[in-house]
């Protein structure tokens, strides 16, 4: 990412800046030198367990000796600029440079993984202006699980739509239709076979009088009983059905006895004849 | 109808009725900060100015709070009379607002109070320094009067009109945990600022850049508010009337301290950014309002009317991020409410096909606004026995077999009895 080199007019300046990325054992993984006034051409990556070391030499004006400013920070900013981590630089053992070391874990605790802006900030109360130099882009790797930066959730959460149960899978309509046709066909065949094959008839139905009435009433009450059961299945409640069934039962009983009585003499005569 | 309405919204209090206890470290602060105190009076507060270490200080009498708000302009002296950190925190926990302005060299008691509110104040000898954005007139040598960063990140609920002009600050920096859901920094230092001792080199960058807080605000879960700053100069008449000068000597205009402090005080004393819930209701679409229970898969609607108080004026609230949940242990449904522009938010959802005791839960917390926590309990019942599918096409063969059996029974009976 190409970034502008921001140089506030200042008597402070820095020599070439050396950036190195080292792993936990001090092995150098990457090394860059930023010449005076330049920035990193490519983004620098800092993975978990690694640290970034910046070495530079602040000077005043055209002097060659190192100047020790009160403020010498290596600063890492989030892309929005709302979060910042700064590391103070300290003189090296030889005393000829300032060194700032930033560990990945310290940065990841306050900055989200991804690209960040790397800068150098120098200043001193004895000087009229400080120096702020953008060095380039530093890409922070993913932190260890549970150790990264966690922003408070003060915004809308993802919507949740309840997943309703899917209706049970039903059989193909062709199968029940076929079965229904078969059942009705069987029923019809039986009703047709009764007279046709078995010789059933109603010649013995009482012509009239008491026997006829009893027979009509008996069969009508039976049909009504079956109809009441069908109505109970379709519409009625138990409390409505039971009284009706009770009444119809009485009718079936009465008319059935009467019908049986009218048929008894004929049955007794056949027995005597045998 | 089991109703459990937990409304934790702050109702608008008439500004003219609030009694404010103002504690001052030195009597001279009443003169050096007269415009700040005048601003509070102009907002309609009734001020009672007392020395911070007065032996007669009380906040509560016979179990009643004597004051509604508390303003502390503190320094080295500790709290006097019946006041201590615990009582002030009780006062805050009871829903009363607090403004805490500390001298950078403030004593441990006031620092502890700030810490209990969620704000850490930098060390006593530390100041906010900025070698690139200091005031050229007031801090030409020490660089300890800095210009706050007002260009980005201003909370629009605290500063609805923004800040137009430089804000001067001289004091110690504050730090707030970025993971805090109650405290946040309302005014930051610039990107080149840091917390350190004037004249000394910094070896450890504790506070740096925009991480240096100048004013921190706290919106507690009980909707009490607090403002903390480690600078008395921020509120002083001198800074209110100062002309800001850049490090290069260029004039930046009059300081905007008075406007910024006025906005901060209005927010901290609950005069803006306050949400008020007027009504909550739920219903079955096409059915009764607030029924005793829902049925599984009912189309239901939740609606709430929210207004917003800003400087004494109540107006309908409008936002696109208000959400409601239908929860039983965990949220089964979470929907975003749509508003009609008149403050009424509503959402329609399908009741989940899990029965039990559910709750409509509206939990709305945003930086700079009072929090809303509402809930309504509504059980959801399963289908009744007669609400299932009555006839199943696949069962028609069974229906047919029963009716054909009935017909066959009647025919067989008649044939058996009457065949000759």
Six-digit token string for A193: 């076979």
pLDDT grade, residue A39 (50/70/90)?
A: confident
Question: What count of CB pairs under 8 Å joins A to B?
Answer: 216
- What's the confidence (pLDDT) of residue A4? 36
Place of tokens 């010449």: A35
Q: Do A162 and B333 touch (CB under 8 A)?
A: yes
pLDDT tens for each residue of A202-248: 888 888 888 899 999 999 999 999 999 999 998 899 999 999 999 99
- pLDDT tens digits, one per residue of A151-161: 667 889 999 99
Q: Which residue has the tokens 């600063």?
A: A75
CB contact under 8 A, A84 and B325: no
- Judged against a pLDDT cut of 70, whether residue B3 lies above it is answered with no
- Per mean pLDDT, which range of B49-53, B127-131, B173-177, B199-203 is the poorest? B199-203
Backbone dihedral angles phi then psi of residue A145, each to the nearest 5 degrees: -60, 130
- Residues B84, B186: one domain? yes
Q: Averaged over A125-137, what is the pLDDT?
A: 90
pLDDT at A225: 96
8 Å CB contact of B211 and A162: no
**Domain finish residue from B249, B268, B287:** B268
Chain B contacts of A262, Cβ < 8 Å?
none
Q: Are residues B240 and B359 in the same domain?
A: no
Tell me which of B212, B233, B268 is where a domain ends: B268
**Portions of chain A given CATH number 2.60.40:** 12-140
pLDDT single digits (tens) A176-207: 999 999 999 999 999 999 899 888 888 888 88
Q: Is residue B157 part of a domain?
A: yes
Q: Which of residues 155-194 of A touch B (CB under 8 A)?
A: 155-162, 164-165, 170-171, 173, 175-177, 179-180, 182-184, 186-187, 190-191, 194
- Tell me the C-alpha distance between B308 and B302, whole Å: 20
Which pLDDT score, from 0 to 100, does residue B9 have? 45
Site from B141, B186, B209 to mutate, A interface, most A CB atoms within 10 angstroms: B209
Of residues A123, A160, A190, nearest to B131 (C-beta)? A123
Q: Which positions 38-67 of A are in contact with B (Cβ < 8 Å)?
A: none
CATH code for position B237? 3.40.50.880
pLDDT of B207 strictly over 70: yes
- Token output for B38: 């005048």
Q: Is residue B5 part of a domain?
A: no
* Rounded Cα–Cα distance for residues B403 and A231 (Å): 12
CA-CA distance, A143 to A146, in Å (whole number)? 8
Of A7, A89, A98, A130, which to mutate for an interface test with B (greatest number of B Cβ within 10 Å)? Answer: A130
Last residue of a domain, one of B268, B297, B324: B268
The dihedral over CA atoms of A194, A197, A198, A202, expressed in degrees to the nearest 10, equals 50
Shared domain check, B402 and B377: no
Distance from CA of B86 to the nearest CA of A (A): 27
Which residues of chain A does B181 touch, with a Cβ-Cβ cutoff of 8 Å?
152-154
In terms of Cα–Cα distance, which of B390, B406, B404 is closest to A182?
B404
- The structure's pTM equals 0.80
Contact B210 A164 (CB under 8 A): no
pLDDT at position B298: 94
pLDDT of residue A203: 86
Q: What is the pLDDT of residues B69-88, one digit of tens each?
A: 999 999 999 999 999 999 99
Name B91's Cβ contacts closer than 8 Å, sequence gap at least 6: B59, B60, B65, B70, B98
Same domain, B206 and B291: no
Here the tokens at position B77 are: 């002296």
Per-residue pLDDT at A3: 36
Query: Nearest residue of B to residue A176 by CA position?
Result: B394
Do B38 and B118 belong together in one domain?
yes
Q: What is the pLDDT of residue B257?
A: 97
Least confident of A4-8, A128-132, B222-226, B409-413: A4-8
**Same-domain status, B164 and B290:** no
- Give the residue numbers spanning the domain of B71: 15-268
What pLDDT, on a 0 to 100 scale, did the predictor assign at position A265? 65
Secondary structure class of A250 (helix, strand, coil)? helix
First to last CA, chain A: 120
- Percentage of residues of chain B with pLDDT beyond 90: 85
The set of long-range contacts for B85-91, using a CB threshold of 8 Å and a minimum separation of 24, is B85/B109, B85/B112, B85/B113, B85/B116, B87/B59, B87/B60, B88/B59, B88/B113, B89/B113, B89/B116, B91/B59, B91/B60, B91/B65
* Pair B259, B127 in one domain: yes
- Position B391 in a domain: no
- Same domain for B372 and B283, yes or no, is yes
Give the confidence band of A270 by pLDDT, cuts at 50, 70, 90: low
ipTM computed for the complex: 0.77
pLDDT of residue B225: 97
Please state the domain count of chain B: 3
Q: Chain A residues with CB inside 8 Å of B414's CB?
A: 202, 205, 219
B291 touches B281 (CB < 8 A): no
* CB neighbour burial string for B201-216, b if at least 16 within 10 angstroms, e if fewer: bbeebbbbbbbbbbbb
Q: Is the pLDDT of residue B355 over 70?
A: yes
β-pair type (B69-74, B97-102): parallel
Identify the pLDDT of residue B97: 97
How confident is the model at residue A172, as a pLDDT? 87
The reply to whether B296 and B360 lie within a common domain is yes
Q: Do B178 and A121 touch (CB under 8 A)?
A: no
Asked: is A12-140 a CATH 2.60.40 domain? The reply is: yes
Which of B407, B408, B420 lies nearest to residue A204, judging by beta carbons?
B420
Let me know whether B244 and B300 are in one domain: no
Q: Does one domain contain both B83 and B197?
A: yes
- Over residues B360-388, the pLDDT tens digits come to 999 999 999 999 999 999 999 999 988 88
Q: Hey, what are B362's tokens?
A: 């509206």
pLDDT at A6: 40
Whether B369 and B405 share a structural domain: no
Say yes or no for a CB contact (<8 Å) between A191 and B397: no
């Amino acid at each position: 990412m190409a970034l502008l080199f921001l140089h506030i007019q200042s008597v402070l300046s820095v020599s070439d800046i050396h950036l190195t990325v080292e792993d936990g054992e001090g092995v150098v993984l990457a090394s860059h030198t930023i010449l005076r006034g330049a920035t990193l051409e490519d983004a620098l990556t800092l993975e978990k367990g690694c640290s970034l070391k910046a070495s530079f030499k602040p000077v005043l004006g055209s002097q060659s000796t190192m100047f020790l400013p009160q403020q010498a920070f290596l600063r890492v900013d989030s892309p929005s600029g709302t979060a910042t981590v700064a590391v103070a630089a300290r003189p090296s053992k030889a005393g000829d440079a300032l060194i700032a070391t930033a560990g990945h874990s310290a940065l990841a605790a306050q900055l989200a993984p991804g690209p960040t802006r790397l800068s150098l900030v120098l200043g001193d109360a004895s000087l009229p202006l400080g120096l702020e130099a953008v060095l380039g882009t530093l890409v922070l790797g993913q932190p260890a699980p549970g150790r990264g930066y966690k922003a408070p959730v003060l915004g809308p959460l993802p919507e949740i739509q309840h997943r309703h149960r899917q209706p049970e899978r039903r059989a193909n309509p062709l199968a029940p239709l076929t079965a229904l046709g078969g059942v009705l066909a069987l029923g019809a065949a039986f009703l047709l076979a009764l007279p046709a094959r078995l010789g059933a008839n109603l010649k013995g139905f009482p012509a009239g009088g008491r026997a006829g009435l009893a027979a009509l009433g008996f069969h009508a009450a039976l049909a009504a009983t079956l109809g009441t059961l069908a109505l109970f299945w379709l519409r009625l409640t138990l409390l409505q059905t039971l009284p009706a069934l009770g009444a119809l039962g009485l009718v079936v009983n009465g008319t059935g006895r009467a019908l049986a009585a009218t048929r008894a003499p004929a049955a007794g005569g056949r027995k005597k004849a045998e | 109808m089991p109703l459990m309405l937990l409304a934790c919204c702050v109702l608008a209090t008439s500004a003219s009725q609030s009694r404010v206890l103002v504690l001052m470290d030195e009597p001279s602060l009443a003169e050096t900060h007269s415009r700040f105190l005048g601003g509070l009076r102009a907002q309609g507060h009734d001020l009672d100015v007392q020395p911070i270490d007065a032996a007669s200080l009380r906040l509560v009498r016979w179990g009643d709070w004597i004051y509604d708000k508390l303003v502390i302009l503190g320094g080295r002296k500790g709290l006097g009379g019946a006041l201590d950190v615990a009582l002030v925190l009780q006062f805050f926990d009871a829903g009363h607002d607090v403004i805490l302005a500390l001298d950078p060299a403030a004593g441990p008691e006031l620092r502890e109070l700030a810490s209990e509110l969620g704000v850490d104040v930098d060390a006593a000898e530390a100041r906010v320094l900025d070698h690139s954005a200091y005031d050229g007139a007031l801090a030409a040598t020490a660089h300890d009067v800095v210009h706050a960063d007002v260009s980005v990140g201003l909370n629009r609920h605290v500063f609805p009109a923004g800040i137009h002009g430089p804000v001067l600050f001289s004091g110690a920096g504050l730090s707030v945990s970025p993971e805090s859901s109650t405290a946040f920094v309302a005014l930051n230092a610039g990107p080149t600022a840091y917390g350190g001792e004037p004249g000394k080199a910094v070896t450890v960058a504790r506070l740096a850049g925009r991480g240096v807080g100048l004013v921190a605000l706290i919106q507690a879960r009980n909707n009490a508010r607090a403002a903390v700053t480690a600078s008395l100069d921020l509120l002083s008449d001198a800074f209110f009337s100062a002309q800001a000068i850049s490090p290069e000597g260029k004039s930046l205009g009059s300081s905007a301290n008075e406007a910024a402090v006025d906005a901060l005080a209005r927010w901290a004393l609950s005069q803006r950014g306050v949400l008020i819930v007027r009504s909550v209701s739920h219903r079955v679409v096409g059915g009764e309002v607030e029924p005793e229970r829902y049925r599984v898969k009912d189309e239901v609607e939740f609606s709430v009317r929210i207004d917003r108080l800003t400087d004494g004026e109540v107006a309908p609230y409008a936002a696109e991020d208000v959400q409601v949940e239908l929860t039983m242990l965990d949220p089964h449904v979470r929907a975003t409410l749509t508003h009609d522009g008149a403050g009424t938010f509503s959402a329609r959802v399908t009741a989940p096909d899990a029965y039990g005791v559910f709750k409509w839960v509206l939990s709305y917390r945003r930086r700079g606004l009072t929090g809303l926590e509402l809930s309504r309990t509504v059980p959801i019942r399963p289908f009744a026995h007669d609400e299932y599918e009555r006839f199943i096409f696949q069962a028609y063969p069974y229906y047919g077999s029963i009716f054909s059996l009935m017909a066959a029974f009647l025919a067989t009976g008649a044939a058996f009895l009457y065949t000759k």
